[in-house]
A and B are shown apart, each in its own frame.
Chain A
């Protein structure tokens, strides 16, 4: 008698079924987001940036992401049918990176009309009343989509820090993701984010001051 399929194998099989659809949706979102941002990107100052990046979560990352969402990061092997990649909010991800600070809000406002019914899940800032570090929205891009997509708008500096962190640490060794959730690491990460935000705010202030002087 054949061995029953593991939870991981069931999810890999689901991934293969979903892949063509995910490619189409990723392309559609990235193209439309670029289009929505066009009124801003066409008028950026030379030092300003709005960069749009997109990706489909890789198969093993997706399987691992489902596992990590479970209690103690383990699948309940007695009930393998309860798991699906469709539970992930970010199988397709689009990230908008902006610089300086003021462009973040511009980019976010441009998107909002298209994602009014999406789940709003901002990354909170440090301390009560602090502005979010990043804006995150998840939902179905088209009514016939079966997987959820996530759109993030975040400062370029913080987004690049996240990318460096991801590609240097978590991509080669996904099990280290849990390390970032320890109380100590959360504190250290918050300190890096605060430093980057301070840098960006100060940079924006200097640019404005410089513009005032040159008038």
Chain B
């Protein structure tokens, strides 16, 4: 069971990182380059940290509350994702040399949804394995 969640965390992190790499590289090329404050390697590291944390959270919650663990974790994930978008909106401490900072929230917010969406899309696979 833990192995399945661990594997799901890795797969989701990897797919999200690939998606983010395409989006971020294109955005930095065409729109505005925020690599000074948000380099791609940091996004990938964050996705792996989050993906693996979700593995742990879902595994523990389904262990502790087999009936409601998944739904509780899903709700936590949704609220945490929605709440996290406040951070880029409220960010003000940009380096002086960075331009077009008004685009920053609009650029970052989609990144906050990539991993949770992949997680919610692929997590039913675990259920199948259970049955």
Partners in one complex: no
